[in-house]
């Protein structure tokens, strides 16, 4: 089907998709709490006459649309959960839930996938095989909803031959996309370092171990792993995001807890840095005479776009949007996504869809209380999903 026709059909249902997005946006639900969002998704799939299953890996919903007999299966994935952020956009459909906001665009992901379902349900006689619509909970919280859905059989009966996803990004203009092969998002591991010592009076630091000063030295030492121990063309991010210690200004703490995150794009480097964080912490603390415990929590793997499937996606995108709107140079970001788990079961591709519109004030970054998107991206997203499916299942 010509890209222009798909874009027109997506534009024709734009108000329907936009209404869904706004309903989800004003009633956001945190990871593992997406009950109402999932119910809305199921309601829309039922209206479209699409077979669906609820409570998959939690509040996950999976729709299945069969075309003509035979053929392959392709899965499309959208996440549904929100973040613990107080919205400050001032939009008429801003979050009505205190302290909870769709600041990562998952409301848009869900709405545009439903838009694609509506388009594809009108054209199931035009493709062979089937398409799975995966509406996933808990992307923002480890261990992630993808793992639970996979355990619940989402990648079986039928087994997808490919998985595709869209993530909105505010650094790309609305109407444009960015796509590339190889690693596109990082592995993220969390760690907690607990420092212990005797504590004492603030006026006599020589009689104790000043753990807060020690923590400052440790932070600088850990940064040397990225700056002096790692290949400069292989990115490493080590961030200490939280330090807890001390009870009074005149007491030297007996316990300091440091919570951090590690981001890498290379598995060997990931293992090396984990070992070095543990070693450097233990050695520095031994020098100071302090106790140290380092605990790591494995996060999401690196998200890798399959080269062959991604190339077919690029061709479909150019046919739909035009070459100028498809940026084929995708610089990896050090954020992480549990979409990476689906890539272990089938060739997978995630693209970035632009939402930026400076004139409309749609410039706030992801995970910001000011995040907003140009809602025209919704019909672009719906059209992209539909085009990818129609091309894949007709090839």
Q: Rg for the chain (alpha carbons), in Å?
A: 23
Reduced to 3 states, what is the DSSP secondary structure of residue 53?
Answer: strand
Q: Which of 29, 139, 337, 375 is catalytic?
A: 375
Q: Which two tokens stand for residue 186?
A: 């990082």
293 belongs to the catalytic site: no
Cβ-in-10-Å burial (0-12, 13-18, 19+) of 370 comes to middle
Give the C-alpha distances (Å, rounded to integers) separating 367 from 102, 168, 237, 261: 8, 12, 18, 16
φ and ψ at residue 209, rounded to 5 degrees: -125, 120
Q: Which of 52, 59, 300, 379 is catalytic?
A: 300
300 belongs to the catalytic site: yes
φ and ψ at residue 380, rounded to 5 degrees: -65, -45
Q: Which residue's structure tokens are 């249902």?
A: 13
CA distance 43 to 61: 11
Residues counted in the chain: 395
φ and ψ at residue 391, rounded to 5 degrees: -70, -40
Q: Is 148 left (phi over 0), alpha (psi -120 to 50) or beta?
A: alpha
| Whether 263 contacts 188, CB under 8 Å | yes
Half-sphere exposure of 272 (CA within 13 A, CB side): 13
Indicate which residues carry an active-site annotation. Answer: 300, 375
């Amino acid at each position: 089907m010509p890209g222009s026709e798909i874009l027109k059909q997506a534009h024709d249902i734009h108000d329907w998709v936009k209404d869904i997005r706004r309903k989800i946006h004003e009633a956001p639900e945190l990871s593992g709490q997406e009950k109402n969002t999932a119910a809305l998704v199921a309601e829309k799939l039922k209206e479209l006459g699409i077979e669906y299953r609820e409570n998959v890996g939690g509040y996950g919903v999976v729709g299945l649309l069969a075309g003509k007999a035979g053929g392959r299966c392709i899965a499309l994935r959208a996440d549904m959960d929100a973040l613990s952020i107080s919205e400050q956009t001032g939009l008429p459909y801003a979050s009505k839930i205190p302290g909870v906001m769709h600041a990562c665009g998952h409301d848009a992901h869900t709405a545009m996938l439903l838009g694609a379902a509506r388009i594809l349900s009108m054209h199931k006689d035009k493709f062979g095989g089937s398409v799975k619509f995966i509406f996933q909970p808990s992307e923002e919280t480890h261990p992630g909803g993808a793992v639970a859905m996979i355990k619940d059989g989402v990648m079986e009966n039928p087994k997808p031959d490919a998985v595709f996803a869209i993530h909105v990004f505010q650094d790309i203009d609305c109407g444009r996309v960015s796509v590339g092969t190889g690693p596109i998002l990082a592995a993220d591991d969390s760690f907690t370092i607990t420092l212990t010592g005797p504590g004492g009076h603030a006026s006599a630091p020589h009689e104790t171990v000043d753990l807060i000063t020690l923590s400052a030295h440790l932070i600088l030492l850990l940064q040397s792993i990225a700056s002096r121990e790692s290949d400069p063309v292989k990115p490493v991010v080590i961030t200490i995001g939280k330090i807890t210690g001390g009870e009074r200004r005149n007491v030297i703490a007996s316990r300091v807890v440091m919570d951090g995150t590690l981001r890498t794009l290379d598995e060997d480097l990931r293992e090396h840095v984990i070992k070095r964080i543990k070693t450097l912490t233990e050695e520095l603390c031994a020098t100071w005479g302090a106790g140290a415990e380092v605990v790591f929590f494995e996060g999401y793997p690196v998200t890798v776009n399959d080269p062959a499937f991604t190339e077919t996606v690029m061709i479909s995108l150019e046919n739909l949007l035009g070459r100028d709107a498809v940026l084929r140079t995708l610089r990896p970001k050090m954020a992480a996504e549990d979409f990476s788990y689906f890539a272990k079961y089938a060739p997978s591709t995630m693209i970035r869809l632009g939402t930026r519109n400076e004139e409309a004030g749609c410039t706030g970054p992801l995970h910001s209380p000011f995040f907003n998107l140009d809602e025209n991206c919704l019909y672009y997203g719906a059209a992209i999903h539909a085009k990818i499916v129609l091309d894949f299942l007709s090839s």
